[in-house]
Homo-oligomer: A and B are copies of this chain.
Amino acid sequence: MTKDRPASSPTPTLEHVAKVAGVSRATVSRVINGIRNVDPAIQEVVRAAVEQTGYVPNQAARSLVTRRTNSVALVVSEAEHRAFDDPFLGRIFTDPFFGRLVSGIMGVLRPRGVTMVLMLAENDAARAQLIGYLKQGHVDGVIAVSASAADPLPGLLTEAGLPAVLSQRPVSPLPISYVDAAQSAGARLAADRLAERGCRRVATISGPLDMPASQDRLTGFREAMARHGHAHVPSVEGNFTQETGERAMRQLLNEVPDLDGVFVANDLMALGAVLALHDSGRRVPQDVAVIGFDDSNVAMVSRPPLTTIRQPLEDMAAEMARLLLAHIDDPDSPPTSVIFEPTLVVRKSA
């Protein structure tokens, strides 16, 4: 008595549209999902009925049968128990890194009609809620960006058996796909550049050494410098912030006053290093050459602008999206890793 009223106010269903168009639900469904084998004339009628009724498919009903949501999550996670305020969001979103990532991902998702939702997992409570959300099948898969090393998210994702792709090699080996840049190759570019400039006393400021990327950049740099005849390359560890870059540089200058070249594991620290060098009365690059990593926005802000190692982030992000889609299409496809080559961007600091 309350059903079978095509034009009533409750949101229209396939049933309603079918009635209006004078066809069956199945046919309407076919038209909506763009399946061939439907008479063009009928297609027209159906489309008109959809228009007239203002029909929109019910995602829940659709997902229930297709087991797909056509959406994926981009999860930004970090290990530390930090209050949910400025630092984390500021740090992660500020960097063009993030914009380039999203851009690259959207580039492959949008054309395929897949929506991306952004989720934050800034502490364990948030992560627990997140995993629950994901397991309930709200999205088809996830791309995870970790801001720090000890992040348990990759492990949780694997455990939950969700289609997932990481934006970097996981700390401990995990059966999970990831995309990364060839960190040591990037470090070698920096080493070669420094050697080419004729630097004789070279040092490096590394990132947190519990992160694979940091380790790779450090050892890659050392090995390359060794090939150039530099047996020992002093290093100080930073944590990717400008402040620690500044402090590390001061320490390095103390230990190696006649330093004439530094490779810094990211641009933000490189910015701090340049500041510390200025403070100590040294000129960049005349007295000390500085090379950063990432090619983030601060590279251009620095005086002088930073020579740095650039990662093809858009391409990497696009690849992550493609890998994820592949895993979603075939959940049994084996974990894959794709590594991209970084390039040297020469500006003024080296």
- A residues sitting closer than 8 Å to B (CB atoms) are 56-64, 67, 69, 71, 73, 83-86, 88-90, 93-94, 96, 98-100, 102-103, 106, 110, 113, 115-120, 125-126, 129-130, 132-133, 135-138, 297
Instruction: Find A117's partner among B61, B119, B132 (CB 8 Å cutoff).
Output: B119
Least distance between A98 CB and chain B CB atoms (Å): 6
In contact, B100 and A85 (Cβ under 8 angstroms): yes
A116 to chain B, nearest CB (A): 8
Cβ of B90 and Cβ of A99 under 8 Å apart? yes
Q: Which of chain B's residues have a CB closer than 8 A to the CB of A86?
A: 96, 99-100, 297
SS of A interface (majority): helix
Chain B residue at smallest Cβ distance from A136: B59
Are B119's CB and A133's CB within 8 A? no
Q: Which residues of the other chain, B, contact A96 by a CB distance below 8 angstroms?
A: 85-86, 90
Q: Which residues does chain B contribute within 8 Å of A100, judged by CB atoms?
A: 85-86
What residues on B are CB-neighbors of A73 within 8 Å?
117
| Contact of B137 with A59 in the complex, beta carbons under 8 Å | yes
Q: Are A118 and B115 in contact (CB under 8 A)?
A: no
Contacts A90-B93, A119-B117; A136 near B85 (Cβ below 8 A): no
8 pairs, A vs B, C-beta closer than 8 Å: A59-B63, A84-B106, A85-B99, A85-B100, A90-B94, A110-B125, A116-B119, A118-B118
Task: Kindly identify which residue among B63, B69, B110 contacts A129, using a CB–CB cutoff of 8 Å.
Answer: B110
| Closest residue on chain B to residue A92 by CB atoms | B93
Q: How far is the CB of A76 from chain B (nearest CB, A)?
A: 9
What 5 pairs across the A-B complex have the smallest Cβ distances?
A: A93-B93, A60-B63, A118-B118, A59-B136, A117-B117
In contact, B103 and A85 (Cβ under 8 angstroms): yes
Q: How far is the CB of A45 from chain B (nearest CB, A)?
A: 23
Chain B residues near A62 (CB-CB < 8 A):
60
Closest residue to A297 on the B side, CB-wise? Answer: B86
- What CA separation (Å) do A98 and B119 show in the bound complex? 14
Complex CA–CA separation, A232 to B202 (angstroms)? 63
User: Does B102 contact A93, Cβ atoms closer than 8 Å?
Assistant: no
Complex alpha-carbon distance, A117 and B56, angstroms = 21
Cβ-defined contact, A99 with B84, below 8 A: yes
Known interface pairs A58-B137, A137-B60. Does A102 touch B84 (Cβ–Cβ under 8 Å)?
yes
How many angstroms from the CA of A297 to the CA of B73 in the assembled complex? Answer: 29
List 4 additional A-B contacts (Cβ < 8 Å) besides A90-B297, A117-B119. A58-B136, A64-B64, A71-B133, A117-B118
Residues in B neighbouring A67, C-beta threshold 8 A: 60
